[in-house]
Amino acid sequence: MRSGTLNVPGIVGFGKAAEMAGRLMSEEMQRVSHLRDLLWEKIKANLDEVYLNGHSIERLPNNLNVSFAYVEGESLMMGMKELAVSSGSACTSASLEPSYVLKHMGVGEDLAHTSIRFGLGRFTTAEEVEYAADKVIETVRKLRDLSPLYEMVKEGIDLKSVTWTGH
């Protein structure tokens, strides 16, 4: 019997990460969650019909998951190539299905198709958050001008009352 080959750089790196987390975690949590909140506040102040997915406080400090009603997530990502975001969890980013996690959290299929997950990190700055928010706002507006659903809602049509031809 022998053990597997040990991943020495991984072990050293993880040890260092744990040591740094011990020193920095509480401070970083505050800093990152503050930036995350800035991002959400700016988006919310500039766009109608945006919905926070998940709990407003009891969530990871670096995570923001938002549904932008009437704008499909993949097309939204395509319009803001400079931002590394995902329209589902990492494991579903290559599939057409909306996030099963959101579905199980009770987010409807229609809104699940419009969700974007933002992840902030140790090296994210306030300037980058400003830039990201501006880019999101601009792209959502552009795609809503292209969205038949947004147009119908603005005309006062209840989308739930429409008979859709699903495929």
Catalytic residue numbers read 91
- One of 46, 62, 63, 75 touching another protein (CB under 8 A): 75
State the nearest-atom distance from the C-beta of 150 to another protein, in Å. Answer: 8
State the nearest-atom distance from the C-beta of 24 to another protein, in Å. Answer: 36
Give which of 121, 76, 78, 112 is closest to 92, Cα–Cα: 112
- One of 70, 101, 120, 124 touching another protein (CB under 8 A): 70
- One of 54, 61, 79, 119 touching another protein (CB under 8 A): 79
In contact, 84 and 135? CB cutoff 8 Å? no
In contact, 42 and 140? CB cutoff 8 Å? no
**8-to-12, 19, 167 alpha-carbon distances in Å:** 6, 17, 52
Residue 149 binding another protein, by CB under 8 A: yes
Amino acid at 118: F
Residue 98 binding another protein, by CB under 8 A: yes
Q: How far apart are CA 132 and CA 83, in angstroms?
A: 7
- One of 37, 110, 130, 134 touching another protein (CB under 8 A): 110
To 10 degrees, the CA torsion angle through 124, 126, 130, 132? 0
Residue 165 binding another protein, by CB under 8 A: yes
Residues that bind another protein (CB under 8 A): 70-72, 74-75, 78-79, 94, 96, 98, 108-110, 113, 145-151, 159, 162, 164-167
